Structure formats: structure tokens, C-alpha cells
Structure 1
């Protein structure tokens, strides 16, 4: 059965640029063009808290594993924000990027934030440092164009770039471990399959599942539209999902990834560009029940699917 709409959330005015579950899946954080971040109960759909302080639309958000710390970036203000989740208070504002900041990632305990900017750099910040200049641990400048998405693990930083590459860095030394995907601008990268694979989405409307061991593409998915926007995607063990510029959510069967355009589902419900999708943490298991996925769009809506 195709996923059904459980809740439709309309708490933002204007585009919802980013939406994520916390590690437990109990809560959703959403960031919008209206300069706000919203905290929502994923089970009931109720609005719990609003975070105010951004001077421009919120482009990226990330939450620590314990859900105590929230990182966000506001695009044109060229800064990275750190929030106390429970108090809804801005605790740090990290500055240093020379152009707008589009994506952030945060460590499990909230001590490290990684940010990616149109200034072509990935910056690594120590949130325990007392001031912004000392908080900057590294500035990684190998990219030839803007940084589009980030993944942070205990040992690595994975950054996708509009220059057509995905770079994997050793978090301690900043050394580039892997450089790949020359060609079309890459708009999203995710670690999937228990860390064994990368899911890579490009601006030619293609998504590839890539083996991290040898860099070979295991499957490819297409049919959605990604030509002008940083459309975000996600995957679990059996499904790949992506937003699309045509207002639909596309879902593919991983095992049928060799069939071009063979989307298992095309889900309607939004009336604008679907900017991002993310599977519920429990949906990372094939045997999961309940909430499956969220999607967020330029029409100001967030949909929780099950």
C-alpha cells in the first residue's frame, strides 16, 4: 500500500527549506523562509516550540543525538546558529563564512558543528570554545563551487558540492580520503545501508546508490525533477525517496533501481516544490510500523506519511 498522509503541517509562512526527525523520531524540526524553526510532535502533529533569531530564511538544520543541541544556518546572514532545544534559546552564533551558508551537521553530543557555504568551504567548529575565532577548528577549501550537503560521522565529514564532487575528509586531519563524481552538480549526499553506501543526488535528475568500498554505482533512480534547486533525498534498506520540482514525492524500490524512472510511488499532497524528504528512524528497518517519512515543500507545508 502506498504511504498515506497522517498529518499535514502548515506552521510556516513561505517555503519550508529543511525538515528532519530527531534521533528518537518523536519530534520534527523544520526550518523555513519565514526565518523560524519549528519543533513539532511527530505523533500528534502539534506545534511545541518556535525558535526565533534568524535574520534570513533558514536553509539547514541539524540536531544532536540527545536532542539537546540544534544547529541551523540562515543562508544570506553567513552565520551558523547553535540553540538550546529545551530552552528555545540561541546560545552561540558562529561567524566566518564569506557567503551564504546552506547546510550544517552536528556531532552526537553537540560539541562539533560542520557548516557548508557558497564560499566553497566546509568549516569545522568547536562549540565548547568561548568565542567564534577560537571555535573554528578547520576550514576545508578543496571544493571549486558551493557546498550543497553534509554528513558528519565520528571519524569523517562527507561533503557534496555543486562542482560535481563528493569529498570525504578525515575529521581529525582534514585530509581528503575520497574524491569522486566529477560531472553534474551534486545537491545531496547521504550515508545509507549501515554506512556501506552513499546515496548521491545530482542536478541532472539522477540518484545513485554507490558502494563506498569501490565507488561503483549499485543502482540508479530517476523520474523526479531536479534542475534548479537543492532537492534532498533519503533511503532505507528497501526504499529510496526524493523530493521533486513538480510537487511530488518519488519513492523507488531499491531492488528495482536498474529500471530507469521506475518509481514505486509518486505521492501528491504538496502544491509546491518538494525540497526535502526524510525517513522516520524506525523506517530504517524493513519491519518497522507506524510513521514512515516526512516531506517539506515550498508551499509552506510539511507532510508526515505512514
Structure 2
């Protein structure tokens, strides 16, 4: 987890005892950023964490040792979002400087997407897991979702429809769909290959995060008050998790 205390925490998700309601115990603090840590992701092999901070840098951490293996310097303002490619060999970042940067794991910036860029902060960036059609998807405070070709880092599609800033984007496990959400409280579903809007789902509040289920046709949306889970085939809510989440378990 990332925090405004400038650290990243790794957690043990096992319950402290069989009847305990506490399911998270902090294991290790990763320290090194000099400002708020805005985002953190874990590599698919579970060995590394990648963080983005308001100090303008990214850091790659060895989870086993808690040490920074690389610091990524290049953004001129706060880093708001970071992501690993599916093979963990490439890294993408989005920033308040309105650029998207593509990096290797050595901390070298390989490309800065500046042409046809977002006109406001880049709040979220994600790789598509589809290696046959390599894409980056980004969302911004300009209300836009943009799809970029990873091969040449050129804009492929503008996905237009949100009426407020976009907080989050996510790509389905097969790379066919993208979902986006933010200020307007609407989760918008997009066909990535066609570049068109499919349908929208109402979350009832500002959407802070979205993710697809890895093994079901479900989409989860996190708001300030709850986590809402939709079945995308029926477009119905299958669960809503609120503050009484302990009762759910």
C-alpha cells in the first residue's frame, strides 16, 4: 500500500488468529521517497514493487529485502500512476506534468509521450495484457481516456464520454475491454479493438479505482463509501461491500 507518510507497506493478509477480524498485518516498510507515495503496484512474479511519488520519481523495490533497486528520474511534477507490462520488462508512468513515460527496469526512460498528450494531469496508466496488440491506456483530468500503440507510442484512439475528470482505467485480462471511471460516478466500458463505447454502469459516487475479475466476467468499482461488483453479462450488481465488510466474511 502507498501512503502520504512517504512509505510503502507490505502486508501479511492472513488473519492474526482463526476468529480474528483483522486480516492485514504490516510486514515491512519500504522507505526512500521524500514526498507522498501516490501509487504502488507489484510485479506479476511477486518479487518487486514499483511506486510513484509526489517527489517526481518512481522507485523499484526488492520486496524480499525492502531495498530500492532503481530510482527513475525524469518527470518534472508528481507521479500519479505506475504500471508493469505483463512480462515485467517495461514500466509506464503518468504525471501531473501531463506526460506519459515508458521505462525499462534499469530506470532508463525509453520514450516520453508528448504528442497529442493529455491537456491536464495524467491520473492513471495501464498496459494491455494482450501481447498480440500491445497498447497503453491512460486517463486524465481532461475527462479523456486515450489508447496508445506500444509499438510506436503514437495515439491510436481518444475515448470520449466522461463529464468529469478520470481517476482510473483498467484493462480486461484478455485485453479486449477497457473500463474507466472518475468524478462523474460512471464506469464506462470500451471495446479496445474498435475504439468505441459499449455501455455505462452507475457507481453512485466518485469512482476511485476499477478492476476486472481475473476469472469471472465481473467489474469492481471502489468509491468513498463502498465496493460495487457488477456481472458484465447481465449488467447487474452482484455484491456491494460497505463499511460493515467484516459481516461479509
Partner of 1:139: 158
TM-superposed CA distance for 1:112, in Å, is 1.3
Partner of 1:30: 51
1:8 and 2:29 matched:
yes
Q: Secondary structure at the match of 2:41?
A: strand
Work out the CA distance in 2 between the residues paired with 1:175 and 1:90.
31
Sort the Cα spacing of 1:39 and 1:189 in 2 relative to 1 into closer, same or farther, 3 A.
same
1:158 and 2:179 matched:
yes
Q: Is the 8 A contact 2:169 2:178 kept in 1?
A: yes
Q: Is the 8 A contact 1:197 1:209 kept in 2?
A: yes
User: Which residues of structure 2 form unaligned runs of 5+?
Assistant: 1-15, 17-22
Q: Secondary structure at the match of 2:215?
A: helix
Structure 1 residues 251-305: Cα deviation after superposition (integer angstroms, max 9, x where no partner)? x46xx54xxxxxx6xxxxxxxxxxxxxxxxxxxxxxxxxxxxxxxxxxxxxxxxx
Greater relative contact order (Cα < 8 A, sep 6+): 1
Work out the CA distance in 1 between the residues paired with 2:75 and 2:55.
9
TM-superposed CA distance for 1:50, in Å, is 0.6
1:91 and 2:114 matched:
no
Q: Is the 8 A contact 2:203 2:221 kept in 1?
A: no
Describe how 1:94-133 pairs up with structure 2 within 5 A. 94-95=113-114, 96-108=117-129, 109=131, 111-129=134-152
Q: Secondary structure at the match of 2:49?
A: strand
Partner of 1:210: 230
Describe how 1:1-306 pairs up with structure 2 within 5 A. 1=16, 2-75=23-96, 77-85=97-105, 87-95=106-114, 96-108=117-129, 109=131, 111-129=134-152, 135-153=154-172, 154-181=175-202, 183-192=204-213, 194-203=215-224, 205-223=225-243, 252=245, 256-257=247-248
TM-superposed CA distance for 1:150, in Å, is 0.9
Q: Is the 8 A contact 1:163 1:182 kept in 2?
A: no
TM-superposed CA distance for 1:182, in Å, is 5.9
Sort the Cα spacing of 1:5 and 1:59 in 2 relative to 1 into closer, same or farther, 3 A.
same
Structure 1 residues 16-60: Cα deviation after superposition (integer angstroms, max 9, x where no partner)? 100000111111001111111110111221211111101111100
Q: Is the 8 A contact 1:167 1:180 kept in 2?
A: yes
- TM-score, length of structure 1 as denominator length: 0.68
User: Which residues of structure 1 form unaligned runs of 5+?
Assistant: 225-251, 258-263, 265-306
Sort the Cα spacing of 1:189 and 1:138 in 2 relative to 1 into closer, same or farther, 3 A.
same
Work out the CA distance in 1 between the residues paired with 2:178 and 2:219.
13
Sort the Cα spacing of 1:60 and 1:215 in 2 relative to 1 into closer, same or farther, 3 A.
same
- TM-score, length of structure 2 as denominator length: 0.83
